[in-house]
Structure 1
Amino acid sequence: MDYVRKLFDTNTFGTMAMVQAVIPQMRARRSGVVVNVTSSVTLAPMPLAAAYTASKQAIEGFTGSLAHELAAFGVRAKLVEPGYAPTTRFSQNIDFAIEDMIPEAYADFAAPIFAAFASPALTTRETDVAEAVFLAANDTSDRLRYPAGPDAVALAA
């Protein structure tokens, strides 16, 4: 549960706090765009990612509701859903090994999944995410979701 709390503090409550901080100015100006970044784990169920997925799904629902609520003030809300991006070194930014989170009873189940992570067929680059954020921020339509990276685009389809 400590891990789950850290995930939600960062991925969910941190995002909500940032949005809460910027909305009053955007609402007063009657313009602006909130672009929240979630993950392609929200596009299809994936093993060994339940807590992470839950933290990102919460922001999906939050942002979808915001899109409706803020439209009356001329403010848009968008979601960017990046795929697996091993070059970001994301796993090196946490203070524990992901493998240590797997109970012994799940070791045989988890081993081939971790092996597949080592050589994925499709991945997302940082530039894919930057392009999706730019598109989302500049798109004046009511489109909500922007998958980023070939793997996320494939999952979204």
Structure 2
Amino acid sequence: MNTVLITGTSSGYGLETARHFHAQGWTVIATMRTPRGDLLPKSDRIRILPLDVTHPDSIDAAIRAAGPIDVLVNNAGIGVVGAFEATPMAHIRKVFETNTFGVMAMVQAVIPQMRARRSGVIVNITSSVTLAPHPLAAAYTASKQAIEGFTGSLAHELGAFGVQAKLVEPGYAPTTRFAINTDIPVTDLIPEAYANYAGPIFATFANPELTTQESDVAQAVWLAATDKTDRLHYPAGADAVALSQAKVA
């Protein structure tokens, strides 16, 4: 029976992905900073573990408790929306600690066991902003672009040991709390000089032409995890697919 460890399963993409893998008969290690037992079905194939990807001790404890992992899904992340000049460097570093360094730390923690078995899949969830950067999301985009390059390089490096690295690129989901876990209100990051510029952009965010559902992301992660080809990119949602096709064209 295959085992998947998913980070950031308390809501959104991570929670839906955990449900999807469980429905497919997998053992799911659902991790979150503050564990809650009421989010997922009661099952002997679901284990909920505490995990904060920004703390090495937390990562080590979760990996030891999880046991052998066939697939790692790096989903935990935070967002920030606002003018870059008004975004404190401390908050930018916080975004990178989770979105970039947290992913790298998780990957580093599971590589030894996957390399030893000469099998395993690492799925890193980024964003459609890596396909078409959005305004007022410079720091977030940078944190996700770093993981795109990291994963591409990793795919070559680990492929020699039978381990795959994949990218899932979700589109925009207006129901997703994009700035979840941030401690700065969006209004504080929009100086008066940007007000006229930001207004139409936020209106577009509120009423996008195409959107991504959480189930779209779960299915894309499932495909990436079970696809035995050397495919690297898996856009998730109609908008992300459209952007990926436009980028290729």
Aligned counterparts of 1:87 and 1:109: Cα–Cα separation in 2? 23
Give 1:30's aligned residue: 118
SS in 2 for 1:80: strand
Give 1:69's aligned residue: 157
Give 1:53's aligned residue: 141
Give 1:97's aligned residue: 185
Q: Does 1:112 align with 2:112?
A: no
Give the letter aligned to residue 21 of structure 1: A
Offset of 1:146 from its aligned partner? 0.3
SS in 2 for 1:93: coil
Offset of 1:107 from its aligned partner? 1.6
CA-based RMSD of the aligned residues comes to: 1.1
Give 1:132's aligned residue: 220
Say which is worse superposed, 47-56 or 100-109, in terms of deviation: 100-109
Give the letter aligned to residue 25 of structure 1: Q
Aligned counterparts of 1:99 and 1:133: Cα–Cα separation in 2? 33
Give the letter aligned to residue 153 of structure 2: S
Offset of 1:92 from its aligned partner? 4.2
Identity of aligned residues (%): 77
Aligned counterparts of 2:147 and 2:115: Cα–Cα separation in 1? 20
Q: Which has the higher contact order (CA 8 A, sep 6+)?
A: 1
Offset of 1:95 from its aligned partner? 2.0
Aligned counterparts of 1:36 and 1:92: Cα–Cα separation in 2? 19
Indicate which of 130, 155, 159 corresponds to 1:42.
130
Offset of 1:83 from its aligned partner? 0.6
Aligned residues: 157
Give the letter aligned to residue 79 of structure 1: L
Q: Note the 1:145-156 alignment, pairs <5 A.
A: 145-156=233-244
Give the letter aligned to residue 4 of structure 1: I
Give the letter aligned to residue 54 of structure 1: A
Which structure would you say has the larger Rg?
2
Over 3 Å counting, the alpha-carbon distance change for 1:14 and 1:92 in structure 2 is closer
Give 1:12's aligned residue: 100
Offset of 1:35 from its aligned partner? 0.2
Say which is worse superposed, 98-107 or 38-47, in terms of deviation: 98-107
TM-score, length of structure 1 as denominator length:
0.96
Give the letter aligned to residue 125 of structure 1: Q
Offset of 1:27 from its aligned partner? 0.4
Aligned counterparts of 2:151 and 2:134: Cα–Cα separation in 1? 22
SS in 1 for 2:175: helix
Give the letter aligned to residue 240 of structure 2: A
Offset of 1:114 from its aligned partner? 0.6
SS in 2 for 1:156: helix
Aligned counterparts of 2:188 and 2:151: Cα–Cα separation in 1? 32
Aligned counterparts of 1:115 and 1:130: Cα–Cα separation in 2? 27
Give the letter aligned to residue 215 of structure 2: T
